[in-house]
Every structure is written in C-alpha cells, then in structure tokens.
Structure 1
Amino acid sequence: METRTLTVPGGTLHAVSSGAPAGPSAVLVHSGIAHGQMWHPLMEALSEEMFSVAYDCRCFGRSTTTLDGEFSDLADLGSVLDAYGLESTVLVAESRGARLAIDFALAHPERVDGLFLLAPDVSGFDSPVADEERPLLEAVGEAEEAWDTAEPADVPRTVEELIALEVRLFVDGPGREQAPERAAVREAVAEMLRLNYTQQKDTPDFTRPEPAADRLAKLDVPVRVLVGDADTLGMRATAEEIERAVPQASLVRVPDAAHALTLEREETVVRELRTWWRELRQLPQSGE
C-alpha cells in the first residue's frame, strides 16, 4: 500500500491507497471510534478488484489541523478525490463515516457512484433509544463530559475510562457480554481511540451541512447497508430508515455483530462488498 500526506486548507490528511490506480475506485471513510487503519485488511483483500483509498479524517488518526476556525469534512473528502484524480467514486463508510458519505453524496451527487454503508449514522435522524441501553449510553456521555472538562493531570485517567465505555458499547454492544473472542477487536479499537483523543481536545469546529434525514429519497445511486443485530436500537432503526427511504437501497442484517462491523466481521464485510461491487459493475459472481 502507498501512503501519502495530502495538504488541505489549515491541515493535512493521512491517506493510504491500494490496487491499480487505473481501475474502478472506492474511497473508504472510517467510523468515529477508529481511523483509516481499520480498512487495511479489507483493502488488501480486494486489491485485485478495486483501487481503494482510505484516509484519516481531520482530528483523527495521523491527520492534522492548524485551523482556528471551522473546517469542512465534506470539503476534505472532496480534496481526497481530487488528490487521486477521481471525478467520481464509490464511497465505503462506517458509522460517522457513513453520515459523512451520505452528506457528500447529497451535496455532490455527480461525484458518487454508489454507497456501501456499515452501521450507518444519518444527520438529522431522530433515532430511538431502548430503555435497557440508556444506562450505558448515559455513562458514555458522562465520561465524555469528564474528559472534556478534565484538568491536564486527570486527562490520561478520564480518557481511559471513556475508551473502556466506548469499547463496551460499540464493540460488544449494549446487550452482549464482553466475550473473550472479541478481545483483539476491543484492543484494536482502544488503540485507535487513544491516537484519536491525543488531538481531539480543543479542536476547531466543523461545518454542519443541511441534515440528510428528510432528503434520503434524493440519493439516486445504488446503496447497500449492513447493520449488526447486536448494535443499538438507534443504529438498527437508522439502517432500516435508509432502506425504506432510498429508492435503490438494500439492507443486510449481520447476526451476532455489534457496531464495529469491519473489525468484528471482516470476512462478512469483504464478502458482501465484493458481491455488491460485482452487482454494481454487472460482473459475474463467483462460480458463474
């Protein structure tokens, strides 16, 4: 894989690409509990079929920002496409990244050929909360506030407490025990969160586009959605809303999986993306 540092107004974006640049392309947008590294196994698995680019959003991973004012995640995503000479591309995105991808597709429909969305968030969607999930969600919110207001000496402790709760919510899910077989995924997410939090205190605000929830029907591209059946009620409801509202959307429910689908169910995500990618390009399926 090839690594590049892309210059954007008031910062830099860390990007990695894989596959043949002349081939069909996909840009991968990470979740809020990770950075671009979460995509590396998938990129390697599909390197013969697609040219893929994964990048760290500003204030995540190894990207940087020096801005005093607001920045635009959508403009940064557009800069990634421009840097690699992509007039249009498929967007593969998870969670917060899926929200960004949807917003970008609505703002720049001519640049998006399709959306492959994992555990998607949608800006402006009022997602429900199950009663049994409230204690954990409230604990995460309290931990975020404690970290955000902590004195410098208390930051290491508060960030580890926050990471532990986020891993519990997003990797294991609110209704599953912390099973030993997910230990490697928990540690991978924790490590990415530690790097993210080193640069997420006192960061500039990002511009908020018009909410997408009431405009999903305007998405005029093929959309495939994956959601884990052990994810939160809100995430499952969001995925179902996309399936209902978007004309060319289809939904795949992943059994015994929570929010970090790409890391927990790598083989499933690779298989589903490959199948959808072939459908999109009208290529023969395996065995045909």
Structure 2
Amino acid sequence: METRTITVPGGSLQADNSGTPGNPAAVLVHSGIAHAQMWSPLMRALDDEVFAVAYDCRCFGRSTTTLDGEFSDLADLGSVLDAYGLESAVLVGESRGARLAIDFALAHPERVGGLFLLAPDISGFDTPVTDDERPLFDAIEAAEDAWSVEELIAHEVRLFVDGPSREPEPVRAAVREAVAEMSRLNYAQQRDTPDFVKTEPAAGRLAELGCPVRVLVGDADTVGMRAMAQELERACPQASLVRVPDAAHALTLEHPETVERELRSWLRDMGGTGE
C-alpha cells in the first residue's frame, strides 16, 4: 500500500493505492461514519487484479481543509483521478460515498466506467423513516445539536452497525469499535467546517446513468436505505441489486468477504473498467 498527499484548493487529500497501475482501476469513496481506512482489507484482497485508490474526503480522516471559501466534493474526486492519471475508473462507494459517486457520474459520465454502490444514499431522495427507527434518528440529531460526540457516535453505531432491527450482539463488537474510532478522528475536524458547493440532486435523474451499476444493501439496514437501493435498481438502465442477509449499513466492515466476491465477479463480468 502506497500513500500520497493530493493538494486541492484550500486543503489536501490523503490517498492510498494498491495493486498494479496497469490493472483495471477503481476509486473507493468511504461512508460518512468512516474514512479511507475502511477499504484497506478490500484493497489488499483485490490487489492481484485491481489498481485501487482510496482517499479521505475533505473533513474526514487525514485530509485537511481551511475554513476559507467553499469546496467541492466532486472537484476533489476529479482531482484524485487526475493525480493518478486516470481518465476514467469504476467508482466504489458506500453510503455518503455512494452519493458522491452517483453525483460525479451524472456530472462527468465520461470518467466513470461503472458504479459499485453499497448501502447507497441518493442526493435529493425523499427518504422514509419508520416509527421504530425515528427514536434513533432523533437521538442522533439531538446529540449532534449538542455536539456530544461520544453520545453521537454511540447512537450512530447502534443505528448503522447493528441496524434498527438487530440487537448489538458481541459478534459485531470489532466493527462497532472500528467505526467509533474512525468517527472520533472525523468529528475532531468537523465541529467547524467550510461551506461546500451544492450540486443538482440525483433523485429523478438516475435514468441518465448509462454505465453498469451494481447495488448491495443489507436486509437489516434502515427502510430508507433499502428504498434507495430499490430505486437505483428500478431507475438505472443497467442496474442490478444484491440483498445481503444479516447485514446492516456497514457492509464493507461487517461482510468483507461478500463485498470482495461481488465486486470481483462484477468487474470480471464487465471485462474491465474503461481506464
């Protein structure tokens, strides 16, 4: 694994890469409850046939930013592709990272050979919340308003790692701690953040995604996340959906073998990434 710093306007992005540059390229965009470290096991597993790049988005992990002006997540993603000399690549994104990948593919379709989306969020989508889920979402909002970081992390881990319908069983203890540790690093720089450039919402535009799209969603994830996964399957011309049993939101950490198998198989079926 190699690490580099990518300079962007008003900040820097830390990126890791693995595999041989001549192999099909995939750029991995982390979820909002993690940073690029979440991808390390997957990158090691795939380095025999994929050139993989994972980076910390602005205000996450090891990346830096100033409080002056505003920044664009989509421009930052483009800077990552440019830094590695990639005209195009497959984008692999989980949750918030999936939202960025979708938005980037709509803005720059010529640079995206395919979308592999885990527990996907869709910008502008009217996300349903059930009565059973509402108390956890309200608790997260209250902790965020009070900036009670440890309480915020505890509620997010409960909702997204265990899932609203599952108890916090010991088998997921390592995943809960990994998410909590990454979240602490993220929240250390998120109390005050610069403005970001808003983009046109993807909801209602999904039919414009002409590239292959594979979606994975856990059957114990929130109703809203499962609804967005189904919407991608319905609306995208080349989309397919895989429902992962006994899985909540943190698919890459909870079921790494499933994610590796599905991504490897999907890439082989496509015959490359269009690098």
Report the TM-score, using the length of structure 1 for normalisation. Answer: 0.94
Counterpart of 1:52 in structure 2 is: 52
Q: Contact 1:11/1:67 (CA < 8 Å) preserved in 2?
A: no
- Counterpart of 1:223 in structure 2: which amino acid? V
**Residue 89 (structure 1) shift:** 0.3
For residues 271 and 138 of structure 2, the distance between their equivalents in structure 1, rounded to whole angstroms, comes to: 44
Q: Quick one: distance in 2 between partners of 1:46 and 1:203?
A: 34
Instruction: Supply the distance in 2 between the matched residues of 1:195 and 1:129 (Cα, whole angstroms).
Output: 28
In 1, Cα distance between the equivalents of 2:259 and 2:174? 18
Q: Does 1:267 align with 2:252?
A: no
Asked if the contact 1:225–1:243 (Cα under 8 Å) also holds between the matched residues in 2, the reply is yes
Q: How many Å apart are 1:208 and its aligned residue? A: 1.3
Shift of 1:23: 1.4
Where 1:214 maps in the other structure, the secondary structure is coil
Correspondence list, 1:13-92, <5 A: 13-92=13-92
Match of 1:134, as an amino acid? R
| 5+ residue gaps, structure 1 | 148-157, 283-288
Amino acid at match of 2:189: Q
Q: For 1:121 and 1:37, how far apart are their aligned partners in 2?
A: 20
Aligned mates of 2:45, 2:82 — CA distance in 1: 25
* Structure (1 or 2) with the larger CA radius of gyration: 1
Given residue 5 of structure 2, which amino acid in structure 1 is its aligned partner? T
Which residue of structure 2 lines up, in the alignment, with residue 135 of structure 1?
A: 135
Q: In the TM superposition, what is the alpha-carbon distance from 1:70 to its structure 2 partner?
A: 1.1
Aligned 8 A contact 1:27 1:91 in 2: yes
| Equivalent in 189, 211, 228 of residue 199 of structure 1 | 189
**1:67 Cα deviation after fit:** 3.9
Separation (CA, whole Å) in 2 of partners of 1:23 and 1:267:
21
Q: Deviations over 1:54-107 (max 9, x none)?
A: 000000000000141210000000000000000000000000000000000000
SS of alignment partner, residue 132 of structure 1: coil
1:104-183 matches, cutoff 5 A: 104-147=104-147, 158-183=148-173
Equivalent in the alignment of 2:227: 237
Please identify, of 3-12 and 61-70, the stretch whose mean Cα deviation from structure 2 is larger.
61-70
1:103 partner letter: D
Distance in 2 between residues matched to 1:23 and 1:276, nearest whole Å: 15
- CA RMSD between the two structures: 1.0
Cα distance in 1 for residues equivalent to 2:241 and 2:260: 16
Aligned letter for 1:272?
E
Alignment partners' CA distance in 1, 2:130 and 2:66: 40
After TM superposition, the runs of 4+ consecutive aligned structure 1 residues lying more than 2 A away are none
